[in-house]
Amino acid sequence: MQGSAIIHYPNLNTVLMIENALKESDALLNREQLKKRLPTKVMHQTLNVALRYLEDSGKILDGRKGILWIHNPSPKLDKAIREGIEL
């Protein structure tokens, strides 16, 4: 986080738990809705660090209206992206 030191880093289980909650959601979620869907409590700063990681890795979009899972592990999609022409 930019101005403050990160006190709590998420562990792998926390990141996977957040990933699963976002994958199972069929709509945009804000941070409070996401926290309610998680099976265990997660500190706000830890959640923000995990969400930043997921956004940087291209798995989610985190916007003003909410958080959305966008990762698609389809091999056909990967091939189309690799072989496609960039406009």
CB atoms within 10 A of CB 10: 20
Question: For residues 57 and 63, is the Cβ–Cβ distance under 8 A?
Answer: no
Q: Which domain holds residue 41?
A: 12-83
Q: DSSP label at 45?
A: H
The contacts of residue 52 (CB under 8 Å, 6+ apart) are 62
CATH of the domain at 45: 1.10.10
Q: Which of 18-27, 46-55, 67-76 has the lowest mean pLDDT?
A: 67-76
In a domain, 62, yes or no: yes
The CA radius of gyration of the chain, in Å to the nearest whole number, is 15
**How many structural domains does the chain have?**
1
Residue 87: how many CA atoms within 13 Å on its side-chain side?
Answer: 0
Mean pLDDT of 23-40: 95
The predicted model scores a pTM of 0.79
Mean pLDDT of 64-77: 89
Task: Give the separation between CA 49 and CA 82, rounded to whole angstroms.
Answer: 30
Q: Is residue 6 part of a domain?
A: no
Q: Considering the chain, what percentage of its residues have pLDDT values greater than 70?
A: 97
